[in-house]
Amino acid sequence: MIKEGIKTFRKVLEVGHLPSVITCNCLLNGLLRLNFIDQCWLVYEEMGRVGIRPNTYTFNILTNVLCKDGNADKVNEFLERTEEGFDPDLVTYNTLISSYCRKRRLDDAFYLYRIMYRRGVMPDLVSYTVLMSCICKERRVRDAHQLFHSMVHQGIEPDIVSYNTLISGYCKEGRMQESKYLMHGMIGIRISPDSFTCRVLVEGYAKQGSLDSALNLVVELRRFRVSVSSDIYDFLMVSLCHEDRPFAAKILLERISQEGYLPKPNIYNELIHSLCRCNNHSADATIHSFCRYNNVIDALLLKADMVCKRIKVDPVAYKALIRSSCRIGQVREAESLMEEMLESDVLPDPQICRALIQCYCKQSGIDKAEFLLSFFAREFQIFDNESYNFLVRTYTEWRYG
């Protein structure tokens, strides 16, 4: 279609007719959208040759062309050449400022910002937000906040994007108190935090090792009727599991599941890993033994829930469950899990072999241990020295002990 448009444009010129500047602008805009930068300049030169006078919209399109072509430096030359009879407007300046900010050329962007003022073109919300974003990327969030105050002083009302820009900047610098203060400020003027606001705050607290503050924030946001996305809940539960707090993650899962939340498969797997990991870290005292047992039972219940919901259990979860079942002496449960794992085409490893062999030996099941050792060697080519040594020691103790 664009090629046809260029052909028509040239045919019209050949027969001596002059298309309107609006028609030319439509053609230029189409070429820009398709990234036909060279063709844009050819059309512009044709306009000048036949005497079609460009308007402000034409120059804004061409400014975009220059910026898209990565020639922000040529923009000033272009504006100087065309300045007679053309006053750059707010769109022109915002396009240039955005281009400089994308290239992290903050000094040039602020130079244009000051030029705007001198020429009587007042910056708008877009101008300020683009500049604040660039300043935050330079880790100068306090300067960005001062610019924010200048914007408000000029009578420009901030929006969710300008608030999020500052909140994100403070979170990246670990200044959570300022971030939360800004969040309360936006709520105070009836701007509701969105999923981005929530995510950067939650991740900010998590990076500081303050997951409890992140959880409290979610509770507070829900009180303000802010929708919390499933991605944020996923992040919180995985983070709790990584901190070996599976019960907190499990309670959170139970609560939000009642509201229709559907966890991703990896959430269940993370919970199983964490429950089994906590089991491994426990001591030998009676109370801790009880806790160890309950950890494994909770992990097995989670696995059963996954199977009911047709969520795939990953290999690491199966291995963790088998080893943990063996540690608490639940060898039949471990056998059942291994059968289920093999039916799911998940292959065992030496650690599973070792856990089962040791469990059989401790429960006087030497015959089963021998059979399993042969089975692992024959079917999976697993020859585990520790398993063989443990079986030999058990034979010795049984015969001479």
In a domain, 192, yes or no: yes
Same domain assignment for residues 215 and 234: no
**Shortest CA distance to 306 belongs to which of 273, 281, 279, 347?**
273
In this prediction, residues 142-167 reach a mean pLDDT of 95
Query: Which pLDDT band holds residue 267 (cuts at 50, 70, 90)?
Result: confident
Same domain assignment for residues 155 and 221: yes
List Cβ neighbours of 250 (8 Å cut-off, separation of 6 or more). 271, 298, 302
What tokens appear for 305 in the block? Answer: 């829930």
Same domain assignment for residues 246 and 184: no
Distances from the Cα of 197 to the Cαs of 22, 184, 206, 229, in angstroms?
41, 11, 14, 11
CB atoms within 10 A of CB 360: 25
Query: Which pLDDT band holds residue 332 (cuts at 50, 70, 90)?
Result: confident
Question: Tell me, what's the pLDDT at 104?
Answer: 85
In a domain, 206, yes or no: yes
Distances from the Cα of 136 to the Cαs of 158, 164, 374, in angstroms?
16, 11, 63
Question: Tell me, what's the pLDDT at 256?
Answer: 85
Asked if residues 238 and 270 have their Cβ atoms less than 8 Å apart, the reply is: yes
Per residue in 10-60, pLDDT (tens digit) is 666 666 677 777 877 787 777 767 777 677 767 777 776 777 777 777 777
Asked if residues 309 and 265 have their Cβ atoms less than 8 Å apart, the reply is: no
What tokens appear for 99 in the block? Answer: 């281009």
Out of 184-193, 305-314, 346-355, 365-374, pick the least confident. Answer: 305-314
Same domain assignment for residues 256 and 190: no
On the question of pLDDT at 279 being above 60, the answer is no
Pairwise CA distance, residues 72 & 67, whole Å: 5
CB atoms within 10 A of CB 146: 13
Per residue in 52-81, pLDDT (tens digit) is 777 777 777 777 776 666 555 566 666 665
On the question of pLDDT at 101 being above 60, the answer is yes
Same domain assignment for residues 249 and 287: yes
On the question of pLDDT at 401 being above 60, the answer is no
If one compares 310 and 124, the residue with the highest pLDDT of the two is: 124
Question: Tell me, what's the pLDDT at 290?
Answer: 41
Query: Which pLDDT band holds residue 5 (cuts at 50, 70, 90)?
Result: low
Q: Which of 173, 203, 227 is the last residue of a domain?
A: 227
CB atoms within 10 A of CB 114: 9
Q: Chain-centre distance of CA 315, in angstroms?
A: 25
**DSSP 3-state assignment of 157?**
coil
The b-or-e profile of 67-80 (16+ CB within 10 A means b, else e) is: beeeebeebeeebe
List Cβ neighbours of 148 (8 Å cut-off, separation of 6 or more). 128, 132, 158, 162, 166
Same domain assignment for residues 340 and 353: no
In this prediction, residues 127-143 reach a mean pLDDT of 94
In a domain, 39, yes or no: no
Same domain assignment for residues 213 and 251: no
What tokens appear for 92 in the block? Answer: 């022109």
Same domain assignment for residues 279 and 338: yes
On the question of pLDDT at 284 being above 50, the answer is no
Pairwise CA distance, residues 123 & 38, whole Å: 31
Question: Tell me, what's the pLDDT at 81?
Answer: 56
Out of 64-73, 103-112, 278-287, pick the least confident. Answer: 278-287
In this prediction, residues 305-315 reach a mean pLDDT of 76
Per residue in 226-236, pLDDT (tens digit) is 888 889 999 99
Asked if residues 320 and 277 have their Cβ atoms less than 8 Å apart, the reply is: yes
In a domain, 310, yes or no: yes
Q: Which of 319, 344, 369 is the last residue of a domain?
A: 344
Looking at residue 201, the DSSP 8-state letter turns out to be H
**DSSP string covering 100-131, please?**
HHHTT-HHHHHHHHHHHHHTT----HHHHHHH
In a domain, 170, yes or no: yes
Same domain assignment for residues 300 and 197: no
Q: Which of 227, 256, 272 is the last residue of a domain?
A: 227
What tokens appear for 251 in the block? Answer: 């309670």
Same domain assignment for residues 243 and 162: no
Question: Tell me, what's the pLDDT at 68?
Answer: 65
Tell me the residue type at 102.
R
What tokens appear for 204 in the block? Answer: 């900010």
If one compares 234 and 328, the residue with the highest pLDDT of the two is: 234
In a domain, 32, yes or no: no
Question: Tell me, what's the pLDDT at 313?
Answer: 80
What burial class does residue 11 get, using C-beta atoms within 10 Å of its C-beta: 0-12 exposed, 13-18 middle, 19+ buried?
exposed
Average per-residue pLDDT in the chain?
80
Same domain assignment for residues 254 and 337: yes
Number of domains in the chain: 3
Query: Range of 141's domain?
Result: 137-227
Same domain assignment for residues 237 and 325: yes
Question: Tell me, what's the pLDDT at 163?
Answer: 96
CATH code where residue 278 lies: 1.25.40
In a domain, 9, yes or no: no
Tokens 């919300």 belong to residue? 125
On the question of pLDDT at 160 being above 90, the answer is yes
In a domain, 16, yes or no: no
Question: Tell me, what's the pLDDT at 4?
Answer: 67
In this prediction, residues 247-275 reach a mean pLDDT of 83
Pairwise CA distance, residues 302 & 57, whole Å: 62
List Cβ neighbours of 245 (8 Å cut-off, separation of 6 or more). 211, 274
**Shortest CA distance to 351 belongs to which of 385, 374, 378, 379?**
385
Pairwise CA distance, residues 171 & 159, whole Å: 18
* pTM greater than 0.95 (yes/no): no
